[in-house]
Structure 1
């Protein structure tokens, strides 16, 4: 569902980004669901994913 929301908002995303999203835990997906509401660009998503890896 998160991928659908993001692609609806920002268009197609790179396979690498989709793979990172699919590898997130349930709690991380919940955090992303909330965080993506404030994203204004795909760059915001990429930054969030990079921060979640650390």
Structure 2
């Protein structure tokens, strides 16, 4: 996922190295009651433009 605090992850896990966080990946299984229906898909012609 993007949009996480990469500097904090770097400070916590990669201090003193040349490594840096690029993204965070959640690994695991969702809770049994956490599933919900898929949201509507965007309509390409309405929501996107091609340059």
Asked whether the two chains share a fold, i.e. TM above 0.5, the reply is no
* Greater Rg by CA: 2
TM-score normalised per structure 1: 0.24
* TM-score (norm. length: structure 2): 0.25
Which structure ranks higher in relative contact order (CA pairs < 8 Å, sequence separation ≥ 6)? 1
Higher helix content, 1 or 2 = 1
